[in-house]
Amino acid sequence: MTQKQQADRALVKQYTPHLKHITGGFVLSGITAPHIKGLEMAEQCRAALEQGVELLGKQGHALHDVTHILCTVADAENFPSCFPVFRQFFPSISPIMTLMWLKDAPSSQPKIIFELVVQEEMAEAEEENYAF
């Protein structure tokens, strides 16, 4: 195995999505585009969110259940290219979004990594507040 292949394999392992249960919900972290080579920021964003949709579905949820998004970006200059993608995936809700910029990240790094948070109790509490 070449050194590049070893580095690519390590990168894939590093960004394997993880599920973590928290009080009242869960966090899906490490969500990236399955393949990042040659993809622009918006394309990586779209592919990562598509993977997020699939992972949320396995938990019985969808993007409309997401209450918080943490975006870690390696290319802050091109992050605005993701705005149309966010509008497509989140047309009727606006989850809290936190942006972290990894300045001087290596080019082997994904341009965007997501963490999706679902707070089930929070969603139920909001529904109860509006009940008459």
Write down the pLDDT at residue 35. Answer: 87
Q: Which amino acid is it at 39? A: L
What's the mean pLDDT in 67-85? 95
Asked if 96 contacts 10 with a C-beta cutoff of 8 angstroms, the reply is no
> How distant, in Å, are the alpha carbons of 25, 53, 130 from that of 120?
5, 17, 16
Q: Is the pLDDT of residue 130 over 60?
A: no
| 17-57: pLDDT as tens digits | 999 999 999 999 999 999 898 999 999 999 999 999 999 99
Q: What structural domains and CATH numbers belong to the chain?
A: 20-116 (3.30.1330.40)
In terms of Cβ atoms closer than 10 Å to its own Cβ (0-12, 13-18, 19+), residue 51 is middle
